[in-house]
Structure 1
Amino acid sequence: MSRQPLLNRQSRVIASRLTLHLQQGASMHDAANTLSALDDIWPRSQKPIFISCGRAACDAGLLDWSAPENAAIELAAATLLGPNGPDLIGALQTWQPTVCLVFDPKAAQALAVDVPFRFIGFDARHFTVGQLKLLATRTKSYGMGIAFNIETAEDFRACVDTGITAAAGWFFTKPSKVPAKTLNPAQTNIVRVLNLVRKNADVQDIEAALKHDVAMSYKLLRYINSAGFGLSCEIQSFRHAVSMLGYDKLNRWLSLLLATAGKDPMAPALIYTALLRARLMELLAVGLVDKSEYDNLFITGAFSLLDTLLGVGMEQALDAMRLPDPICDALLGNGGRYQPFLELALSSEGEAGEVIAEQASMLGLTADQFNRAQLQALSFAEAMEL
């Protein structure tokens, strides 16, 4: 599976889209079995998860999967009106999963079918902004309008201005400004604290540095006490955090804090994505590297969008920190033992299923292991969202 986030007008991720990449000869029954096997770790939040069959033709076999309440199955209008349409419509009427009708030239006929649609999906690559505005208005009574495959920030803004509820794509991960040459004061202070933690400085020295920025201290404690961390008691102070977690774990959360210190208008989606990449890389590496390196892989993923988040070049961002060479090598594209994990995490955001399969195989990962890690990372990012 690969994925796309769906953003609302405030640039917050309010849903996800998973695309299924079937092996040659695989059927929708196989896809249903694969999805069923993931039920125990399926994200149970209120955020919808759209399921696209990608290049495969969806049929009633997919409905062998008892879809969770937050799952929305994407169906092209042509599929509902094709030769297998009657069987599919009958199955939809029986099992009543949430359906997103993907708008195509036959959509007008499909809307007359006796199947309720909660969402109407539009592939933004096939419509102008003017067409989207008109279609969103005309189909509003049938379901909420969703746009897929948005490629630029300008297209995203234009899309949500048409009345579309949410838009999916990775447009926000591309830097929108000329990189600055230096970090701003808030970012510099976090880096100073990070470097103190990395060299195991005295707790009093670290606390003194934190007191220079009360907002930073507050944010740090919020992250540590978030649901994603899963602690059994509330951390009340930095000294308490050190005693409970140790310096290695604090290094991880300070790294997340640095990733939130930017002013990019797309910051909510960027932070969500950085969190997801961080946890995904950590999970993919379980059993493949020494446990002592899990935090480094997490930080590699968290920092993979650092240049965009902070508005500086990646080299400038890394120059200010004393990071291990494998992290820097991966982030700068210089190879090293962490780069295959980063490349796989990035490929999961694309549409090339064969590339994902090849990269996962090179790491000795099965499709089930990769899919499970991806869903667990999705749940983590949602639990950590503040």
Structure 2
Amino acid sequence: MNKVFMSRQPLLNRQSRIIASRLTLHLGKHASMQDAANALGALDDIWTRSEKTVFISCGSKCDAGLLDWSAPDNAAIELPAAALLGADGPDLIAALQTWQPTACLLFDAQATKALAVDVPFRFIAFDAKQFTLAQLKLLAARTKNYGMGIALNIQSSEDFRACMDGGMTAAAGWFFTRPSVQLTKTLTPAQTNIVRVLNLVRQNADTRDVEAALKHDVAMSYKLLRYINSAGFGLSCEIQSFSHAVNMLGYDKLNRWLSLLLATASKDPMAPALMYTALLRGRLMEFLSAGLVDKAEYDNLFITGAFSLLDVLLGVGMEQALDAMRLPDAICDALLGHGGRYLPFLELALSSEGDQGELIAEQAAMLGLTADQFNRAQLQAQAFAEAMEF
């Protein structure tokens, strides 16, 4: 049975847009690189073959066994220099020359020698935990002729900007999910209007009353219809108006998309990346809970995940944000860390963005989820988020 659990990191470019993702495979004590290849191969039917690169990291254990996986064109395999220069290096180099996957060299003390091997590297990756910002700038300049430079494990917005200014093509990390400004205690007028519409929908108010509230903000109405008509929603026909949306979808489904509109009122330059992440979390919680809760609760689980970044998106404290809305207790309890039946799913969704494989395995086991179920849910949620327009 597959015991290889994955976690994720997004890669952002200098415009703060998510342009790629990084999957880290956490191998258990007795797992081999063949197990990693099998885990990736099991995801072939749902792999998103888009223009966005997916970096694959197996840590220092990487060897030729990983090349048994038939990597999609948009996959880039991270290769530690030590793996290329060690005792098993010739086998790995031979496999790379045979299968020619997109390769990314993980820069370390032996990287200069690794760059001399007969393997073309499209990317050179630098772990920001191992180098100072000054060193990263120097290394980006010295290696630019070997491959595009990317920085990994960026911890702050300041470090992200310094890496971009220093010549990196992209940077990976969850730095943008932490508040970069001091939180306030009030919502903006635009946010207040969206909350008002949301509350009307939750109260099952007359459609005419909801439409009247939407007309106060034409941009909000436009964005709502754009989300509903996006590829991620998968409708067979285009929704032309809010009343049409109500007839086609009902208030329960519209509630989740109105929830996302709160993010559109954010002035944060990281808002698109935050919305992508919020949507991914919400969809991931839905997939993780499939068969474990009543279907009627799926929308609530989606909203729990999507609202997990509400404080960052709105620039207010989580309690203040929730006070403005009439959400079910189970959602509020999870978002405030008070427990409840949704909290285990939220905690697992958050752990999927970390680097603790044992914690992920433990939390998944508590919910009765296998590694394959967990990994598939992540890729499906990621594909869903990518299909949305921001």
TM-score normalised according to structure 2 size? 0.98
1:330-352 superposed Cα distances (whole Å, 9 cap, x missing partner): 00000000000000000000000
Helix, strand or coil for the counterpart of 2:61?
A: coil
Match among 11, 18, 26 for residue 13 of structure 1: 18
The answer to whether 1:239 aligns with 2:243 is yes
Task: Give 2:140's aligned amino acid.
Answer: A
Aligned to 1:42: 47
Helix, strand or coil for the counterpart of 2:171?
A: strand
Give distance in 2, aligned partners of 1:240 and 1:61.
Answer: 53
Match among 208, 212, 216 for residue 212 of structure 2: 208
Match among 380, 383, 386 for residue 387 of structure 2: 383
Aligned to 1:51: 56
Give distance in 1, aligned partners of 2:299 and 2:65.
Answer: 41
Match among 26, 29, 32 for residue 34 of structure 2: 29
1:241-292 superposed Cα distances (whole Å, 9 cap, x missing partner): 0000000000010001112321112111111110110100011000000000
Give distance in 1, aligned partners of 2:279 and 2:389.
Answer: 9
- Using the TM superposition, give the Cα deviation of residue 236 of structure 1 relative to its aligned residue in structure 2, in angstroms: 0.4
- How do 1:113-132 residues align onto structure 2 when only pairs under 5 Å count? 113-132=117-136
Contact 2:263 2:271 in 1 (8 A): no
Aligned to 2:318: 314
Aligned to 1:261: 265
1:81-101 superposed Cα distances (whole Å, 9 cap, x missing partner): 100000000000000000000
Contact 2:282 2:304 in 1 (8 A): yes
Contact 2:26 2:357 in 1 (8 A): yes
Task: Give 1:6's aligned amino acid.
Answer: L
Match among 271, 280, 283 for residue 279 of structure 1: 283
Gaps of 5+ in 1: none
Helix, strand or coil for the counterpart of 1:99?
A: strand
Give the length in aligned residue pairs. 385
Contact 1:144 1:164 in 2 (8 A): yes
Match among 114, 136, 149 for residue 145 of structure 1: 149
- Using the TM superposition, give the Cα deviation of residue 132 of structure 1 relative to its aligned residue in structure 2, in angstroms: 1.1
Give distance in 2, aligned partners of 1:269 and 1:128.
Answer: 25
Helix, strand or coil for the counterpart of 1:370?
A: helix
- How do 1:184-199 residues align onto structure 2 when only pairs under 5 Å count? 184-199=188-203
The answer to whether 1:66 aligns with 2:70 is yes
1:301-331 superposed Cα distances (whole Å, 9 cap, x missing partner): 0000000000000000000000000000000
Give distance in 2, aligned partners of 1:64 and 1:321.
Answer: 51
The answer to whether 1:324 aligns with 2:328 is yes
Give distance in 2, aligned partners of 1:335 and 1:9.
Answer: 38
Give distance in 1, aligned partners of 2:206 and 2:212.
Answer: 10
1:1-56 superposed Cα distances (whole Å, 9 cap, x missing partner): 001110111111100000000111111011101110100011111100000003x5
Contact 1:259 1:303 in 2 (8 A): no
- Using the TM superposition, give the Cα deviation of residue 127 of structure 1 relative to its aligned residue in structure 2, in angstroms: 1.2
The answer to whether 1:155 aligns with 2:142 is no
Give distance in 2, aligned partners of 1:319 and 1:329.
Answer: 12
Aligned to 2:173: 169
Contact 1:17 1:52 in 2 (8 A): yes
Task: Give 2:161's aligned amino acid.
Answer: R
1:187-213 superposed Cα distances (whole Å, 9 cap, x missing partner): 000000000000110110000000000
Please list every run of at least 4 consecutive aligned residues from structure 1 whose deviation after the TM superposition is greater than 4 angstroms: none
Gaps of 5+ in 2: 1-5
The answer to whether 1:248 aligns with 2:240 is no
The answer to whether 1:341 aligns with 2:345 is yes
1:160-217 superposed Cα distances (whole Å, 9 cap, x missing partner): 0011000001111111122111100000000000000001101100000000000000
Helix, strand or coil for the counterpart of 2:326?
A: coil
1:126-182 superposed Cα distances (whole Å, 9 cap, x missing partner): 112221111111111111000000011110000000110000011111111221111
Give distance in 1, aligned partners of 2:282 and 2:185.
Answer: 26
Q: Percent identity?
A: 82
TM-score normalised according to structure 1 size? 0.99
The answer to whether 1:359 aligns with 2:339 is no
- Using the TM superposition, give the Cα deviation of residue 385 of structure 1 relative to its aligned residue in structure 2, in angstroms: 3.2
Which has the higher mean CA deviation after the structures are superposed, 224-233 or 22-31? Answer: 22-31
CA root-mean-square deviation: 0.7
Match among 2, 6, 14 for residue 7 of structure 2: 2
Give distance in 2, aligned partners of 1:22 and 1:110.
Answer: 24
Task: Give 1:227's aligned amino acid.
Answer: A
- Using the TM superposition, give the Cα deviation of residue 383 of structure 1 relative to its aligned residue in structure 2, in angstroms: 0.4
Task: Give 1:385's aligned amino acid.
Answer: E
